[in-house]
A and B are shown apart, each in its own frame.
Chain A
Amino acid sequence: MDNLLIHAENVSARFGNVTVFKNISFRLETGSSMAITGPNGSGKSTLLQIVAGLQRTVSGTVTRRVNDAEITVENFSAHAGYTGPLVNPYDMLTAAENLAFTVKDSAAKERVIHLLDYFDLYKERNKIVKHFSSGMKQRLKLIHAFINDPVIIMLDEPGSNLDSTGKDKLFAKIEELKAGRIVIIASNEQDEINLCGERVELGKQNI
C-alpha cells in the first residue's frame, strides 16, 4: 500500500479583487476521503484544482506526496485521476482514441476494456464523442479519471448528468477504490458527500 499525503495549509484563492475563500487547511492520508461542499460560486472546483496542482494559490501551500515523493505536473497523471465539468475530452475523437491518448502504460488495455464495459460504453467506443449524450460524456470523463489506476482520485461533481444506474455504478466504483487511496469529491449532492469520511464546507465563513 502506498504512503499517501495531501496536506493543505491556509490555502486562499482570489479572482481579481474578489476573495473566493481563505485559510482552508486539511490533511489527508492513505485511505481517507473528503467532500468539498458549499453553495454555487463558493470555490469548490477552484479548491479541487488547487489541491490537484492545476491552479496556483494566492497564499498557503499544498503538499502532495506518494511514498515521500512529491507529485508534480510531470508525474500528476501517473498518480492522480481528476475529472470535472471543465475537463473535456476531444469531441472530434472517438472514445477509444481519447482513451488511447490518456492511457499511460501499455498493460492498461484490459483495464480500459473493463472500465468501458463497466460504464456501458464498450459498444460505443468507436463513436465520435461529439455524438455522445451528456451522460455518455460524463461516463467517458470518469473512465479517464480511473484509467491509470490512480492512488489519488479527485472528482468534481462526478454524478452530474448520470442516470440512476450510472450513479449506482459510480458510487460502487468509488467505494471499491477508497481503500488504500485518497478520494476527494467536490459536490453538493448528498449521496456523493456521504461517500466521504471528512468534509470541508466552503461559504461565507471562509471569506
Chain B
Amino acid sequence: MENRIYKHLKKDILVEFRNRSAVNISFAFAGITTIAVSLASGGIRLDANIQSILFWIIIFFSGMSGLAHTFIREEEERTALFLAIHSIPEEVYISKLLFNLVFFIFIALVVSPLYIFFMHAIPVHFTHFCLTVLFGSIAIASVSTILGAIVSKAENRGTLFTVISFPLMLPVLWIAIMNTTASLEPGAAPGFQSILFLLAFSGVIISASYLSFKFIWME
C-alpha cells in the first residue's frame, strides 16, 4: 500500500505543478494580502491579538482554495471514475491527506516569514509559535480534505464547502489564534494544552475520515 500511496502522491504533485492553478492562487493570495495588510497598517505595530487574527486569516484563505481543490479537480476534470477504478478508497484518502498536509504546511512556511517581516510580528515564544502553526495547519488540512471529498460530489461546491467547513474550522482557528497571540506577547506564558487540543482534534478528524471515506468516495 505504501508504494501505491507514493504513486498517488507523485501523480497529484505532477498534476498540480503542471497545472499550477492551486499553487499560483494560494501564493498570490498570501503575498498580496500580507503586503496589503502591511501597507494598510502604515507601519504601526498592531496589537498581538489583531496580528494573530490577520495572520490566520491570511494562512486560512491562502490554503483553502488549494485544499478543497484536490478532490474537486478529480470531479471537474472527470478523472474521479478513473481514480476509483484503479485505486482502493483508503489509499486515495491517505494520499490526498498527505498532499494537503504538505501543501498547507508549505503555504504556512511561506506566509509566516513574510508576515513576520512585513508586520514586524516577531514571536517571543518561537517554539510555541512554530508548533501552533504546524498543528493548526495539520488540523485545517485534515478537516478540508474530508470536506473537499464530500462537496466534490455535490453541486454548488463552493457555497457548500464554506457552509459545512465553518463549524469544524471555528474551534481550530479560535485555538490557533489564541495560541499565536500568546506566542507574540512578551509577558504571556503559553501552555501546551491548546497545542495538544489541535493535535487531538486532527487525530479525531483523520480517524473518522479514514473510517467513513469509503462510503463518501463510492457514493
Contact = CB atoms under 8 A, between A and B. Distances in A.
Interface stretch (B76-84, B139-147, B185-193): B76-84
Given A74-B88, A97-B14, A92 B19 contact: yes
Contacts of A144: 82, 86
Interface stretch (A13-21, A81-89, A172-180): A81-89
Contacts of B84: 54, 73
B82 A88 contact: yes
Interface string B171-212: 000000000000000000000000000000000000000000
Interface residues of B, number: 20
Interface of B: 7-8, 11, 14-15, 18-19, 77-79, 81-82, 84-89, 214, 218
A87 B14 contact: no
Interface in A90-106: 90-93, 97, 100-102
Q: Which 10 A-B pairs have the closest CB atoms?
A: A92-B18, A102-B86, A88-B78, A74-B88, A92-B15, A87-B82, A87-B81, A77-B86, A86-B81, A101-B11
The range of chain A's interface size is: 20 to 34
A93 B14 contact: yes
Contacts of A171: none
A73 B15 contact: no
28 contacts: A54-B84, A54-B85, A54-B218, A56-B218, A73-B84, A73-B214, A74-B88, A77-B85, A77-B87, A82-B85, A86-B81, A87-B81, A89-B79, A89-B82, A90-B11, A90-B79, A90-B82, A91-B77, A92-B15, A92-B19, A93-B14, A93-B15, A93-B18, A97-B11, A100-B7, A102-B86, A128-B18, A144-B86
B78 A86 contact: yes
Nearest to A72: B88
Interface of A: 52, 54, 56, 73-74, 76-77, 82, 84, 86-93, 97, 100-102, 128, 144
A93 B218 CA distance: 24
Residues of B contacting A: mostly: helix
A93 B12 CA distance: 10
A82 B85 CA distance: 8
B11 A93 contact: yes
B90 to A, nearest CB: 8
Nearest to B84: A54
Given A73-B214, A92-B18, A87 B11 contact: no
Contacts of B88: 73-74
Q: Among A73, A86, A89, A128, which residue has the most Cβ atoms of chain B within 10 A? A: A73
